[in-house]
Amino acid sequence: MRILILGGDGYLGWPQAIYLSQKGHEVAVFDNLARRQFDLKHGLDSLVPIYSMQRRVERWAEITGKAITRFHGDTVDYPSLSRAFQEFQPEAVVHFAEQRAAPYSMIDREHAVFTQHNNVIGTLNVCYAIKDYAPAAHLVKLGTMGEYGTPNIDIEEGFIEIHHKGRSDVLPFPKQPGSFYHLSKVHDSHNIMFCCRIWGMKSTDLNQGVVYGADTYETALDPALATRFDYDQVYGTALNRFCIQAAIGHPLTVYGSGGQTRGYINIKDTVRCIELAIQSPPAAGEFRVFNQITEWFSVKDLAERVQRVGQRLGLDVMLDSIRNPRVESENHHYNVVHTKLLDLGLQPHLLDEAEIEHMIKLALRYQDQIDRRQVMPTVNWRETENSITPEAALPQAALA
């Protein structure tokens, strides 16, 4: 199939592109390199060195003989998006191209507005591009488990049957997201569902949990194919952060009591889930939802796992409960239905000690690159103005 990967330079988009290319699909990547620009602006970096988009694509072709088409463009800029659709004529579109950090969206008004504009308008443009240039294409959209929040009932897979005053209906599961970023995903879901209803578009909304893992079988083939590994307080997710903290002897930053529970998935399963969704498309006009997680943990659970593995490696790993910079429930019910991808054939890679050991060893290998100023959180949900870049962290060129 011809598959267009929007956000194909990101942590997930790049491994997805080479996974699908390896499987024999014709793949194109589309990205505006916004993530790389954010890193430059704020003096951040992936722990694992990542090569330029151009070099990645060239190296993939050198190693496998398989070509990936590259588009530089922005989903918010309709002409550049249209050009990619017209030239490539995708049969499936995998949409990763969004600002994906909750803390980024909570820095201040400007970052909240940027996040919602980039994500919601970008996705609306993607829907129009499908309608205008590839009406039969299947939109596989990355949503998030955080759209649901943490209700005091089990989380169903997208829809819930409601009985009300003697009548009943199957309706979208209620959403109670916890950041302006997570809200942007809810708005996307509504827009996409509407486009399916009015235009007969077909879409799979993947409510994905937190992804972990430093590599896939394809990214591990060559250093030039590596994907990013974020550990900073804005883009780094809890498990990545705990692994680098263990490596540098910093107490693990458990926010609050650590009872916050989230769904998780290995990056190797993410790429497979998307392949499964593409292989079994929905019918025209159908909006379907998969909960893309394989297991769930509390933050404290994760920290204790990292502590155990770290201690086995001879590291002195302490846990530190710091005041939670986010507004979220720290003690809540969490039980999620997630059978649809398993029914399609997903065989999960569960989080084991070997995976955590691999991540800690990676952090030890690159420990000289770790910027300790990025460890403690500075973005607080209760504040409307947050500073994220300690001046000293900026490269001299950025300060000039």
Binding footprint of ligand NAD on the chain (CB under 6 A): 7, 9-13, 31-35, 74-76, 96-100, 118, 122, 142, 144, 208, 210-211, 228, 237
Distance CA 368, CA 91 (A): 44
Q: Please state the closest distance from residue 31 (CB atom) to ligand NAD, in A.
A: 5
Distance CA 204, CA 210 (A): 18
Q: Does 13 bind ligand USQ (CB under 6 A)?
A: no
Distance of CA 243 to the CA centre of its chain: 18
Q: Please indicate whether residue 204 is annotated as part of the active site.
A: no
Please identify the residue of the shown chain whose CB is closest to the bound ligand USQ: 146
Any idea what the Cα angle at residue 360 is, between residues 362 and 181, rounded to 5°? 90
Among ligand USQ, ligand NAD, none, what binds residue 157 when CB lies within 5 to 8 Å by partner kind?
A: none
CB nearer to ligand NAD: give 7 or 162.
7
DSSP label at residue 47:
S
Give the residue, chosen from 12, 27, 29, 101, that forms a contact with ligand USQ under the rule CB under 6 A. Answer: 101
Q: For residue 219, what are its two tokens?
A: 């990214």
Among ligand USQ, ligand NAD, none, what binds residue 31 when CB lies within 5 to 8 Å by partner kind?
A: ligand NAD
Among ligand NAD, ligand USQ, none, what binds residue 90 when CB lies within 5 to 8 Å by partner kind?
A: none
Q: Please state the closest distance from residue 283 (CB atom) to ligand USQ, in A.
A: 27
Distance of CA 132 to the CA centre of its chain: 27
Q: Choose the binding region for ligand USQ from 58-66, 99-107, 158-166, 363-371 (rule: CB under 6 A).
A: 99-107
CA separation, residue 82 to residues 126, 129, 191, 396 (Å): 9, 6, 19, 38
CB nearer to ligand USQ: give 94 or 224.
94
Around Cβ 396, how many Cβ atoms within 10 Å? 6
Q: Please indicate whether residue 300 is annotated as part of the active site.
A: no
Tokens 């050009």 -> residue: 83
Catalytic residue among 75, 115, 123, 144: 144
Q: Are 191 and 123 in contact (CB under 8 A)?
A: yes
Tokens 């990967």 -> residue: 5
Give the residue, chosen from 6, 53, 155, 238, that forms a contact with ligand USQ under the rule CB under 6 A. Answer: 238
Q: Does 262 bind ligand USQ (CB under 6 A)?
A: yes
Q: For residue 7, what are its two tokens?
A: 């956000």
Among ligand USQ, ligand NAD, none, what binds residue 260 when CB lies within 5 to 8 Å by partner kind?
A: ligand USQ
Catalytic residue among 185, 202, 268, 340: 185
Q: Does 253 bind ligand USQ (CB under 6 A)?
A: yes
Among ligand NAD, ligand USQ, none, what binds residue 76 when CB lies within 5 to 8 Å by partner kind?
A: ligand NAD
Q: Is 284 helix (H, G, I), strand (E, B) or coil?
A: coil
Distance of CA 218 to the CA centre of its chain: 18
Q: Please state the closest distance from residue 146 (CB atom) to ligand USQ, in A.
A: 2
Q: Does 187 bind ligand USQ (CB under 6 A)?
A: no
Q: Please indicate whether residue 253 is annotated as part of the active site.
A: no
What is the dihedral sign for C-alpha 370, 376, 380, 381?
positive
Catalytic residue among 11, 19, 181, 212: 181
Q: At what angle do helices 180-199 and 109-116 cross, to 10 degrees?
A: 20
72: left (phi over 0), alpha (psi -120 to 50) or beta: beta
Q: Are 299 and 260 in contact (CB under 8 A)?
A: yes
Q: Choose the binding region for ligand USQ from 68-76, 78-86, 251-259, 382-390 (rule: CB under 6 A).
A: 251-259
CA separation, residue 292 to residues 283, 299, 342 (Å): 20, 19, 10
Q: Does 379 bind ligand USQ (CB under 6 A)?
A: no
Catalytic residues: 144, 181, 185
The residues of the shown chain that bind ligand USQ, judged by CB under 6 A, are 100-102, 144-146, 182, 209-210, 237-238, 241, 253-255, 260, 262-263, 299, 326, 328
